[in-house]
Structure 1
């Protein structure tokens, strides 16, 4: 690290959770080595105040990656993201955060999160520097989650608005959507949390060859990568749409990659007469995801809630012609003609009916080119520049403070 200060200690605040095994090792999915390593560009050590859950060996093998960074520690807190948590755990968590803030030079606050909101309140009261990273929308997440979720959607929305509005520095994972909904008066940047290795042009060539060799009557394979036990991911609308299409003589299969209890979607597929057309692949190891994406013909992201979906960007990086719902950052990625209102079976039906080989050729090229914007090196350079601006502002502030303190002392002599 070379940002003008030695031994900088960062505090990372987020609801999480991280997973913990019986030996005390921590694991995550999006919260992984790559993500936490970014912060070592501006910090010598990182402490994460975050809730944790126990994990078994089967879960580790399926989708979680071990966090094994040096100078990284976890301070586990009780869960706050529930009514009981807020009522009975808030005071304890507040004390933990306050103690850790006093040991740190600055905070990295990931939002939306209740721990994040609380840490900002404390940081401001202690005049401690912080920046926020906005990775999702609590309104969409809670409103589309359940009836109980609807009760806390509005309070969560306003809490997030307040946290982001006065942040001195804010990084958004979208370019437009989250910025419009949660405005910030400070310095801001749009920089996706999704990053890809350099793309190989041979991937696009194979995709175009695949499209060229499609024959009338061959099954058209649609794919979605998302948990199958979360209704707001929207797979049910695709199942209903292909049922209607297949009854009219089309031949659509639907491949679902993702973990969770599949019983609801499975019963729905049976009810709509496409149980043999809906294929549940379960959780795929990351190295197998690209093989699955190369096998499908069209990717669809039918979610009712999203930030900027990694699964969609990865599909586009394989040249997949892609459709998606009008939510979150999805419209920033796709051809506006291939976007449908969330939850609209009829619009999905009409779009799938419209797509032909000519459109697939055009969209394969478009997807591949758009995915290049998520090149890991380009995004990392943009992100690190932003981090260094933040650290420079801390150094300038500290220099001014020290100078003022010196002048006060000299003036009192």
Structure 2
């Protein structure tokens, strides 16, 4: 039996036909995890043609996993323009894959535009489907209340229509977007960590840090901050971290930040850092090409920062914890209750660089 998984991941196909992603969380190992139950995984995702000579990225396809390429778009306006082509591609895929043998299961990762179009077609054909709820769209759109209300209602309706629902939270998203009575609901955080992702012992604070605060000396070297996340939308809060670094530097605190991420807001965030005079204090890396590079970045940092305006249960925070890296994160989503129990994690109110 095979499974079709609709995802918001944007992939790239290079000249030799390989489908690649800059995001380790969207690479082959993530999708291969379904092979424990299914014989084949078909990934319904947007695929763009790469530029000549572009060979960088993490493979998506492999044994048992292949991609069903969909028309690419970026942003709501482009989605509106490409919607007919996207709907047509998904209609053809469902018609081809859902035959009399019914040997195909359908799952959509929501919230998401690709998943929403697929669900519309599945409901039209009365085909059963499952959902993986990976975030709260109402929090993502919190600054646009009418849009947040409509998107939240849509996600709630999708969950009530599903035949099985998994959530990345233990109870937060379940309480906001429940399935209808009698439908299986489960908690699947989705953070697949391997033995090599863990360190055996807690890390010690650098000796040159000393004790900070009123009446105490300041760190003898800059404190190295790290954040990792998509810049496709602003909810990861990288702009907030830039403002926070500027504020700390203006108060004489020696800090430096590394921001890892790419997306349509990347140049905007870089310009924000330059405008605040942080050209030498904030380093930007578009992407890390392997799990080993992610581990190296975490090991080189002193504090991991997650300034998100919304979250589910972010994988990267679990990865930071596995490397014994202290974290400061905004109090949103499912991870907040986990952080409450962790001695190396501090929570902050989302959206403000001056919060303490």
Same fold judged by TM-score > 0.5? Answer: yes
Question: In 2 relative to 1, CA 92–273 (structure 1 residues): closer, same or farther, beyond 3 Å?
Answer: closer
Structure-2-length-normalised TM-score: 0.80
CA deviation digits over 1:154-176, x for unaligned, max 9? 44332221111232211111223
For residues 114 and 202 of structure 1, what CA distance do their matches in structure 2 show?
A: 38
CA contact (8 A) 1:304 1:325 kept: yes
CA contact (8 A) 2:197 2:322 kept: no
Deviation at 1:15, TM superposition (A): 4.6
For residues 208 and 3 of structure 2, what CA distance do their matches in structure 1 show?
A: 54
Deviation at 1:47, TM superposition (A): 3.1
For residues 296 and 62 of structure 2, what CA distance do their matches in structure 1 show?
A: 28
Deviation at 1:242, TM superposition (A): 2.9
For residues 99 and 200 of structure 1, what CA distance do their matches in structure 2 show?
A: 40
For residues 333 and 152 of structure 1, what CA distance do their matches in structure 2 show?
A: 29
Number of equivalences: 333
Alignment partner, residue 294 of structure 1:
299
Alignment partner, residue 100 of structure 1:
97
Question: In 2 relative to 1, CA 266–122 (structure 1 residues): closer, same or farther, beyond 3 Å?
Answer: closer
The answer to whether 1:251 aligns with 2:245 is no
For residues 58 and 139 of structure 1, what CA distance do their matches in structure 2 show?
A: 40
Structure-1-length-normalised TM-score: 0.70
Deviation at 1:83, TM superposition (A): 1.5
CA deviation digits over 1:276-334, x for unaligned, max 9? 32222442332222222112111111122333222222112111111111323341442
CA contact (8 A) 1:222 1:297 kept: yes
1:6-405 equivalence runs, <5 A = 8-28=1-21, 29=23, 30-56=25-51, 60-61=55-56, 63-70=57-64, 72-78=65-71, 82-86=79-83, 89-91=86-88, 93-102=90-99, 104-124=103-123, 126-142=125-141, 153-185=148-180, 186-198=183-195, 202-205=199-202, 207-208=203-204, 210-212=205-207, 214-215=209-210, 216-227=219-230, 230-259=233-262, 263-286=267-290, 287-335=292-340, 338-347=346-355, 350=356
Deviation at 1:57, TM superposition (A): 6.7
Question: In 2 relative to 1, CA 152–25 (structure 1 residues): closer, same or farther, beyond 3 Å?
Answer: farther
Deviation at 1:197, TM superposition (A): 1.3
CA contact (8 A) 2:312 2:333 kept: yes
CA contact (8 A) 1:15 1:79 kept: no
Give the stretch that moved more between structures: 255-264 or 30-39.
Answer: 255-264
Deviation at 1:200, TM superposition (A): 7.6
Question: In 2 relative to 1, CA 168–324 (structure 1 residues): closer, same or farther, beyond 3 Å?
Answer: same
- Cα RMSD over matched residues? 3.1
Q: List runs of 5+ in structure 1 lacking aligned partners.
A: 1-7, 351-413
Q: Name the structure where helix makes up a greater proportion of residues.
A: 1
Aligned residue for 1:74, secondary structure, equals strand
CA contact (8 A) 2:230 2:262 kept: yes
For residues 209 and 50 of structure 2, what CA distance do their matches in structure 1 show?
A: 44
Q: List runs of 5+ in structure 2 lacking aligned partners.
A: 211-218
Question: In 2 relative to 1, CA 252–64 (structure 1 residues): closer, same or farther, beyond 3 Å?
Answer: same
Question: In 2 relative to 1, CA 257–200 (structure 1 residues): closer, same or farther, beyond 3 Å?
Answer: closer
CA deviation digits over 1:251-283, x for unaligned, max 9? 122222234575433443344343332222442
Deviation at 1:45, TM superposition (A): 2.7
Alignment partner, residue 216 of structure 2:
none
CA contact (8 A) 2:12 2:49 kept: yes
